[in-house]
Structures are given as C-alpha cells and as structure tokens.
Structure 1
Amino acid sequence: MIKQFSKEVINKLKYYVYIYSDPETDEIFYVGKGIGNRVFSHLTDTDDTEKSRFISRILDRGQEPKIEMLIHGLEDEHTSLKVEAAIIDLIGKEKLTNRVRGWQSGIFGRVEVNQLISHYEREKVYIDEPAILIRINRLFRYDMTDIELYDATRGVWKIGENREKAKYALAVFDGIVHEVYEVIAWFQAGSTFNTRGSLDEDKKRWEFVGKKAEESIRSKYIRKSVEHYHSRSAQNPIKYVNIIEN
C-alpha cells in the first residue's frame, strides 16, 4: 500500500474527507478529514484507541485496511469539518471507532428540516410560567431519542432550593427550546435511573423527575428562541424565569 502522497498529489488534493473500512466486509469503521499525508497517519498510530485496535486486528490477519477518499479538492478546513460531521451522522457514530461526533455536528450535522428552520428563523418567545431553562449544548444532538433528551435535560445540576418553585423545565440547545417537561420532583444527583449510565451521587447536585408538559405548553415553546434570556457571557446552564429567587 502507498503510504505517502507526492508533493504534486498533495497540492491537487487540498483538504479532503476519507474513510477506513475492513477489506473483508467493506464495513466502514472510521471517518476522518485532513490535508497532506494525514490519511496515512492512523497506520502507525500507537495510541490505545478502538480505531488503532481495529487496524491492528486487520494487520494481524495479513491484510491492510481499505482507505478511500470521499471528497477532495476542498479549499478550507471548515468545509472538510462539516462534510466529516455529515458523514459521521449519516453512518452513525455507534457504528464507527471515531471517539467523538463531527465538528459542530449539533448544528451542522444531520437535522430534520423543521428543526433547521427553527434554528435559523429563531422566532422569539416569552415565557409566562415559572420555569427553568436548561442548556444542554454539550450533550445535545438532533437525532436524540425522547429518553436521551429527557435524561440529558433533567440532571445532574448544581442548583439551589429555588428549583422547587419551577413548574416546567425547558430543554434548550443553542438558544432554541427542544422540549418542555413538567417537573414532578427533585432528587439528589445519581439517585434515580438514568440512561446516560451510572452518575455518582453528589449532595450538591440535583436531578428532576418529570413528564412531557401538556400539548398547549409544548406547542407554545418548542422550536422557539429563548436566547434573549441569556447574556452572551453567561456560563451557568441554568436560568430561572418568573421565579423570585431567595
């Protein structure tokens, strides 16, 4: 296998997106982006990762991974990052050895059309009920199941006693409301079952148990913008609305 491009080829390729697959099954196990000879770097990677172990198993069979270019000739890295994110979302990260989803895939990855419209139109809405806005930017992705979105929203949070005054909790990503829950009760972090896995109990952090709000409330807020409630410099993922804080 050729493991290095000539200077002439590198100049023609520019930025690119590539895939690694198993030569026996054609199963794609890694998606990457790069420039120059980046595509070959994984063959000599000594880090103990799922990707390197997959490659080692192929080499141990006396074979080499199949390497293909999906697209090349891209003029800038941002474009290659977006293409990489789209491909990872299309295949599904659970089927790949990539450790993370693609760059900003929460925004630029696979997304249903109506959600994309709400992201860019950003129709502003004002909240009338006592509520907590919970930003889940780190965990959010557009293809989350209902239970994944619920568990990402409900905990675990460093939040004070004013939490008890909130009737609703709104799941917010990039300023847009994606779900509204009626809060039933709050519990110490890690004390209720969570699909995210085992979360250590922490007396300073809390999680709520709830249910989807009534349809009249959900239709009022879902896919609407609440970014005006947060200052651009705000770091706290929690924001009280219509709640008098002690």
Structure 2
Amino acid sequence: MADNEQYYVYVYIDPRNFEEFYYGKGKGSRKEAHLSDDSDSEKATRIKAIHKAGLHPIIKVIAKDLTEREAFFIEKTLIWKLGRTLTNKSSGHFADKFRPHDTFHDDLAGFDFKNGIYYVNVGQGEHRCWDDCKAI
C-alpha cells in the first residue's frame, strides 16, 4: 500500500437505535479521536449521551486503503445522502459537485440535461433515408 493510500472512511452508529450519526475520513487512529471530544457540538453531545447510557458508539470503517481525495469523495457522498440525519457540521469537500438537497423537483443547469437522445437508421447504400431519424 502506497503512503498516499492510507486513508479510510468511517461511520459512528448509535447503539441505542442503530442510527448512523457521523461520517468521517481519516488515517491512523482518527476514528477514535471523537470519543474524547469535550465540545458542545451535536456529535459530542450524542457521544456523551451514549456513554451516559452505559454504552459506546459503534465505529465501523466502511472504506479503506484510499487516497485522501478518494476518502473525501466517499465521505461527501455519504454525507450528501444522509445529511439531514447526521451530526456532521460540514457538508464535506466537493460540495459544489453535488446536487443541493431538496431540488429533485427542479431542473438544475449542470445536473439535468434537456438534450434528446437520437438513433439513426439510414438504411444501406443508395436507399439511405434520413427521414428515419427519430428522437426517443
């Protein structure tokens, strides 16, 4: 494994309801660093509540042997998909490459394409007929 492929993506799961509440990327022991977070962030508050219940968050690596760029992209994809239920403060790197939430009812430039797909059957030889071109 090359030095630049030592990143992983991990998830924190609440053992009380098995809900995923945080996605992150890191290397080494990064995934355990949140356990000692003493801030008042939503993530730290949730971890403290889990500990108060006599439990520990479930921490699982879900992708490994990644470059940092790959890890960022996977992390962002997961945050985008589950964003509203997560405690992640940041929407992650590459946010500009993802469709904004609550926009599936809109046609967005760059995300939705209006070009039709055409197929052509012009026949063979002297009998070619361009009138057979049809849009689907």
Q: Is TM > 0.5 for Structure 1 vs Structure 2?
A: yes
Does residue 1:94 correspond to 2:52, yes or no?
no
**Equivalent position of 1:130 in the other structure:** none
Residue 69 (1) aligns with residue 97 (2): no
Partner of 1:156: none
Larger radius of gyration: 2
Seen in structure 2, the aligned counterparts of structure 1 residues 144 and 64 have a Cα distance that, compared at 3 Å, is same
Q: Compute the TM-score of the two structures, normalised by the length of structure 2.
A: 0.70
- Off by >6 Å, runs of 4+ in structure 1: none
Q: Give yes or no for the alignment of 1:28 onto 2:32.
A: no
SS in 1 for 2:32: helix
Structure 2 alignment gaps of length 5 or more: 115-136
Aligned twin of 2:120: none
Verify: 1:79 aligned to 2:37, yes or no: no
- CA separation in 1, counterparts of 2:104 and 2:14? 33
The CA RMSD measured in Å over matched residues stands at 2.6
* SS of corresponding position for 2:23: strand
Q: Which residue of 2 aligns with 1:57?
A: 49
Residue 16 of structure 2 is aligned to residue 16 of structure 1: no
- Greater length-normalized contact order (CA 8 Å, ≥ 6 residues apart): 2
Q: Please say if residues 17 and 71 of structure 1, whose CA atoms lie closer than 8 Å, have aligned partners that are also in contact.
A: yes
Percent of residue pairs bearing the same amino acid type: 33
**Letter of the 2:53 counterpart:** R
Contact (CA 8 Å) 1:86, 1:105: kept in 2 or not?
Answer: no
The answer to whether the 8 Å contact 2:16/2:50 transfers is: no
Question: For structure 1, which runs of at least 5 residues remain unmatched after alignment?
Answer: 1-10, 112-140, 150-172, 179-221, 225-246
Deviation, 1:105, is: 2.7
One-letter code aligned to 1:100: S
User: Equivalent residues in 2 for 1:186-205 (5 A)?
Assistant: none
